[in-house]
Amino acid sequence: MSPMQPIRGTRDLIGDDLRRHRHVIETARRIAETAGFEEWATPVFEDTRVFARTLGETSDVVTKEMYTFTDRSGESLTLRPEATAGICRALVSNGLTQSLPQKIFYAGPMFRYERPQKGRYRQFHQIDIELIGPAHPLADAEVIACGFAILEALGVAGETTLEINTLGDAESRGAYRAALVAYFTAHEAALSVESRARLARNPLRILDSKEPADREIVAGAPVIGPYLTAAAASFYEGVKEGLARFGVPFRENPRIVRGLDYYGHTAFEFVTTHLGAQGTVMGGGRYEGLVAEMGGPPIPAVGWAAGIERLAMLLAGAPESPPPVAVIPVSTAVEAAAIDILRRLRAAGIRAEMEYHGNLRRRMERANRIGARAAVIIGEDELARAAVQLKDLASGTQDEVPVMELVGRLS
């Protein structure tokens, strides 16, 4: 049989890849926690209805990318393509709609049937922040600031630019939509087939099209600014002021609409020029109707999601795993004592390894091969004095150390 291969668009995370991946999650988790966000975990699959309507019937995710299947009981299930809808479903299912605000951190795998390429996979991973409850523009600023703090802690903030926009309130969007319909109708013949379909159902979506033909027409489309109501304009001012107070640099980009349908008011992306076509590292915004779609009351919220793979690619280097200490018994007679020392080192949090067999020379070779920083050599004579030989494998120096002092020396 030929060797089995992973599914197209999926990756195994091993060695450096896994360490980068974990470093992104652990850093984000730590920063989010200091900002008061608490981690949630929800199922990888949900009732298809959790996503189908809520993400927008004309969004790319729903029309082309969902992994939807019927299970053995005939129910339609979907592997989650993003975290927010599941989080809002969980808020309602767990009776938390009266316990607001909820500040949530999330990390986990997401699934989208996309054309795989660098930075774009079918199983990918996101970190995600949601602040559910507050309708205040400072909430938007705080959520974005938390994202920025994570990028800073990862050392990649310098490679990204924050771009923000407003999608206004319902009234602003209604007026803007009419202006877009007028504009795109005038250019209808040149639009892609998909965008022509969007024209009637959701013209804003055309602004997010990745078709080169559409991009050209989109470049000349009207922007939302003139169509904002006074309230929507003032909310947007509040967000920008908040960002300044949180010390987050940004650039306004009136073309940002986000790929999912549930956003209103703030929309933003952290983009980079370092990842080729996959330039969006983190994206999000304010949304209103999602909790109600899950059967709860209408509750405002703001959040973002970031691709862990894209963040991991931006990291300067892979974090090292700590080099181990090799425990080496010189004979089977001291094996029990060696295992005892191995256990003490591990109990003290020192990474320690021991081979199951082999003579001293073999074991030393193996210690070098695994990149051990030190070898603890256990011989019968030293053991009689409750001591061992400790060899520093970087400098080559070796001395006798009482067993009681070993942990202190290696910490």
Residues that bind ligand ATP (CB under 6 A): 82, 112, 114, 119-121, 124, 126, 259, 278, 280-283, 305-307, 309-310
Q: Which is nearer to ligand ATP, 254 or 259 (CB)?
A: 259
Work out whether strand 102-111 and strand 251-252 pair parallel, antiparallel, or are unpaired: unpaired
* DSSP 3-state of 340: helix
For the bound state, the minimum distance from the C-beta of residue 194 to ligand ATP, rounded and expressed in Å, comes to 15
Beta carbon nearer to ligand ATP, 120 or 173: 120
Q: How far is the CB of 196 from ligand ATP (least distance, A)?
A: 21
CB of 4 to ligand ATP, least distance (A): 23
User: CA torsion 151→157→159→165, rounded to 10°?
Assistant: 90
Question: Which residue of the chain is nearest ligand ATP when measured via CB?
Answer: 307
Q: How far is the CB of 111 from ligand ATP (least distance, A)?
A: 9
For ligand ATP, the closer CB: 55 or 191: 55
Q: How far apart are CA 342 and CA 378, in angstroms?
A: 11
Shortest spacing between CB 121 and ligand ATP, in angstroms: 4
CB of 280 to ligand ATP, least distance (A): 4
Which residues, 6+ apart, have CB-to-CB distance to 258 below 8 Å? 167, 208, 267, 269, 283, 284, 285
Residue type, 366: R
Q: Give the strand pairing for 374-378 and 325-329.
A: parallel
Nearer to ligand ATP, 29 or 136 (CB): 29
Q: Quote the least distance from Cβ 102 to ligand ATP, whole Å.
A: 20
CA 18 to chain centre: 13
Rounded to a whole number of angstroms, the minimum distance from the CB of residue 277 to ligand ATP is 8
Sequence-ordered alpha helix ranges (H) in 13-136: 16-34, 49-52, 60, 84-93
Residue that has been written with the tokens 């479903």 in this structure: 89
Smallest Cα–Cα separation from 24: which of 209, 202, 151, 178? 151
Q: Phi/psi zone of residue 32: left (φ > 0), alpha (ψ -120 to 50 degrees), beta?
A: alpha
274 vs 346 by CB, closer to ligand ATP? 274
Q: Are 75 and 47 in contact (CB under 8 A)?
A: yes
Tell me the one-letter amino acid at 72: R
Looking at the Cβ atoms of 45 and 229, the one nearer to ligand ATP is 45
119 vs 264, beta carbon nearer ligand ATP: 119
CA-to-CA dists, residue 60 to 174, 188, 346, 356, angstroms: 22, 20, 50, 54
Nearer to ligand ATP, 37 or 304 (CB): 304
Cβ contacts of 92 within 8 Å, gap of 6 or more: 291, 294, 295, 296
